[in-house]
Amino acid sequence: MPIRASIFLFCLVRITMAQLLAQEEKEKTTALKDLLSRIDLDELMKKDEPPLNFPETLDGFELAFNEHGQLRHIHTGEPFVFNYKEDLHRWNQKRYEALGEIITKYVYELLENDCNLKKEILPVDSTVDEPKSFIYMSEDALTNPEKIMVLIQGSGVVRAGQWARRLIINEDLNSGTQIPFINRAKEEGYGVIVLNPNENSLEVEKVPDSAKKPSPDASDEPAEKRERKEERENKKKKDFYEKYRNPQKEREMEHIPIRENSTPEEHTLYVWDHFISKSLAKNIFIVAHSYGGLSFVNLMIQREAEVKNRIRAVAMTDSVHNVWHQEANKSIRDWLREHCCNWVSSPEPLDTLVDPMLNDCPRVSAAMQHHKKTH
């Protein structure tokens, strides 16, 4: 065979082999993708998961806040560990959320016992049975003739008195709660109102279909038909258990909105109408974090004349408001430039002007590079 023909044949074989290998690899990849598509990864992760039963107190978690306001293990003195069980992210996340609920109650106790704030129920005319929210106020919040400070947190899991749950758990109470702001304000003669914009609904467990009252005609079914139906239901339950062995079936919940407080914006407007605007203070000051800034701008759009007449200054921190998307008019934008300042995440020295091209309100450096997440 001529040399040129041999080279051609060799090259052809190489190309053919490469194509076959590529096709085989493609088929393997396709088969793997098909297999993965038929696996419920969430349920697979639940299979060997421990029960989702967690302590309901800090003592149960063997945690406590020390004299510096840091959350520490009561025996080892170590900080909270998120990855308590390796390779079980979902279980660890649920454990973290359970701790977060305890932290929320703990902060409420601090607001009431250490800061001497009182709880005000919303709506103000709520009935016994309807879902309710609440805010916290100092005793002189509505009677202080000179000045009050209003605190509006960001969105997410945080509740009244908190800026960021993550900071409370991983740093300290001073970093993650509003308590230092409240104490300083009271020392300087301010009345204080603490909003609770994320408490928007009552969470209740869904009633399973099996627990619902049977229809009037159900009793008329022949006994044999009812027995067959029950047998099918029991088989479904058994098959489910056999499939997953240790099913982490969470309770199905539904949310019943709180009247006139079903969103952070609604809540802020409601508290303005029923509390802040009724205060005697000549001067009102706002501190708004993240989504709280957006809620404030919405309040101003809804109550422009009142806000301009009563509020003297607004301090925002990493506010996510957008005067153009929120369709704030020119007079509002002009007022914001004169009376607001937004401290944003930036490595620049504190109070250095940032983003001068955005002319809705001055943005200056908070001398920090990361937004303080609320979860």
Q: How many residues does the chain have?
A: 375
Distance CA 164, CA 317 (A): 12
Question: Mind giving me the DSSP string for 247-300?
Answer: ---PPPEEEEEPTT-SSHHHHHHHHHHHTGGGS--SEEEEEEETHHHHHHHHHH
- Looking at residue 181, its amino acid is F
Kind plus residue range of the DSSP H or E element containing 313: strand 311-317
Instruction: State the catalytic residue, choosing from 279, 290, 295, 346.
Output: 290
- Indicate the SS3 state at residue 56: coil
134 touches 118 (CB < 8 A): no
198 touches 157 (CB < 8 A): yes
Chain centroid to Cα 178, Å, comes to: 17
290 is catalytic: yes
315 touches 286 (CB < 8 A): yes
Distance CA 238, CA 261 (A): 43
**300-335: string of b/e by CB count within 10 Å (b at 16+)?**
bbebeeebeebbeebbbbbbbbebeeeebeeebeeb
Two structure tokens written together for 273? 């109408």
| Catalytic residue IDs | 290
